[in-house]
Amino acid sequence: MDTHSAGFFLTMAQHLSYKKCLQAMFGLRRFGIKLGLSTIRKILSGIGNPQDKFSCIHVAGTNGKGSIASALSTIFYSSGYNVGLYTSPHLVHFNERICINNRPISNDHMVKAYLAVKNAHHGSREPTFFEFSTAMALWEFARQKVDWAIIETGMGGRLDATNVMHPKLCIISNISLEHQLYLGNTISKIADEKGGIIKRRVPVITAVKQKSAAVALKKIADSKSAPFYRLGNAFRIRKNPDKTFSYFGIHHNWRNLKTGLTGNHQIENAALVLAACEILNQKYTDIAFETIKSGIETNKWPGRLEIISKRPLVILDGAHNRVAAKALSMYISDHLADRSVTLVIGILDDKPYAAMLKSLLPACKKVVLTCPDIDRALPAEQLFPIAKEIIPDVEIISNVGKAVTHCIDTASPDEVICVAGSLYVVGEAKEALEKRGYPPFELNR
CA distance readout (Å), 297 to 291, 294, 320, 378, 432? 10, 5, 25, 37, 29
3-state secondary structure of 377: strand
- Quickly state the pLDDT bin for 12 (edges 50, 70, 90): very low
Q: What is the pLDDT of residues 230-258, one digit of tens each?
A: 999 999 999 998 889 999 999 999 999 99
- Beta-sheet pairing, 245-248 with 236-239: antiparallel
Across 406-430, average pLDDT: 95
3-state secondary structure of 294: helix
- Quickly state the pLDDT bin for 1 (edges 50, 70, 90): very low
Sheet-wide strand order for 98-100: 103-104, 98-100, 83-86, 148-152, 55-60, 169-172, 204-206, 228-230
Phi-psi region of 343 (alpha: psi -120 to 50; beta: other; left: phi over 0): beta
Q: What is the pLDDT of residues 198-237, one digit of tens each?
A: 999 999 999 999 999 999 999 999 999 999 999 999 999 9
- Quickly state the pLDDT bin for 180 (edges 50, 70, 90): low
The CATH number of domain 306-435 is 3.30.950.10: no
Q: What is the pLDDT of residues 362-411, one digit of tens each?
A: 999 999 999 999 888 999 999 999 999 999 999 999 999 999 999 999 99
C-alpha 173/C-alpha 158 separation (Å) is: 15
Helices then strands, each counted (H, E), the chain: 15, 17
Q: What is the pLDDT of residues 57-76, one digit of tens each?
A: 999 999 899 999 999 999 99
What pLDDT is attached to residue 149? Answer: 98
CA–centroid distance for 94 within its chain: 13
Q: Would you list the domain boundaries of the chain?
A: 12-298, 306-435
Across 310-333, average pLDDT: 92
Q: What pTM was estimated for this model as a whole? A: 0.90
What pLDDT is attached to residue 5? Answer: 46
What pLDDT is attached to residue 374? Answer: 87
Closest to 380 in 3D by CA, of 411, 420, 348: 348
C-beta atoms surrounding 241 within 10 Å: 5
Across 307-328, average pLDDT: 91
What pLDDT is attached to residue 99? Answer: 98
Q: Which own/partner pairs from 273-277 qualify as long-range (CB within 8 Å, at least 24 positions apart)?
A: 273/68, 273/71, 273/72, 273/75, 274/235, 274/247, 274/249, 275/205, 275/229, 275/231, 275/234, 275/235, 275/249, 275/250, 276/57, 276/68, 276/72, 276/169, 276/171, 276/205, 277/72, 277/75
- Quickly state the pLDDT bin for 3 (edges 50, 70, 90): very low
Q: What is the pLDDT of residues 76-114, one digit of tens each?
A: 999 999 999 999 999 999 999 999 999 999 999 999 999
CA–centroid distance for 406 within its chain: 27
What pLDDT is attached to residue 441? Answer: 67
Q: In this model, does residue 2 exceed pLDDT 50?
A: no
Helix, strand, coil content of the chain in percent (nearest 5) = 45, 15, 40
Class of domain 12-298: alpha beta
Beta bridge mates, 150: 57, 85
C-alpha 400/C-alpha 100 separation (Å) is: 30
